[in-house]
Amino acid sequence: MFSDEGIREKAGTMMEDTRGRYQAFVEKMATASELFEPLVKQLNDQVLFLGRMLTPEGIEALQDEAAALNEAVTAAIEQAREILGEAQNVKPDDGSVPHPDGA
């Protein structure tokens, strides 16, 4: 524990700021992760289907679903990139922790 009251207050303020930034970062990461949950379910359904119907007809039956899933994944990746870009910007304004890309 700090004996100097000013240092103790400053350390406490900095700790709360760090906690807030960390929480914001975790929330952004959770949001990005949630984008992929329904897509993973769809992909698992397709894998399960092909596990039971691995025939030319089975593969052909999934062509439209596979194309739609591919488009959805591409869109989710773009959204995740935006969210992760925002998460990277969650940093202290005083520059005490260097940003990974040097910004």
Tell me, yes or no, if the pTM score tops 0.85: no
Q: Are 74 and 16 in contact (CB under 8 A)?
A: no
Q: Which two tokens stand for residue 94?
A: 């005083």
Tens digits of residue pLDDT in 5-56: 888 888 889 999 989 888 888 888 888 889 889 999 999 999 999 889 889 9
Report the alpha-carbon angle 100-31-76, nearest 5.
90
Domain assignments of the chain as residue spans, ordered by start: 5-88
User: Would you say residue 68 has pLDDT above 90?
Assistant: yes
Nearest Cα to Cα of residue 46 among 30, 17, 78, 69: 69
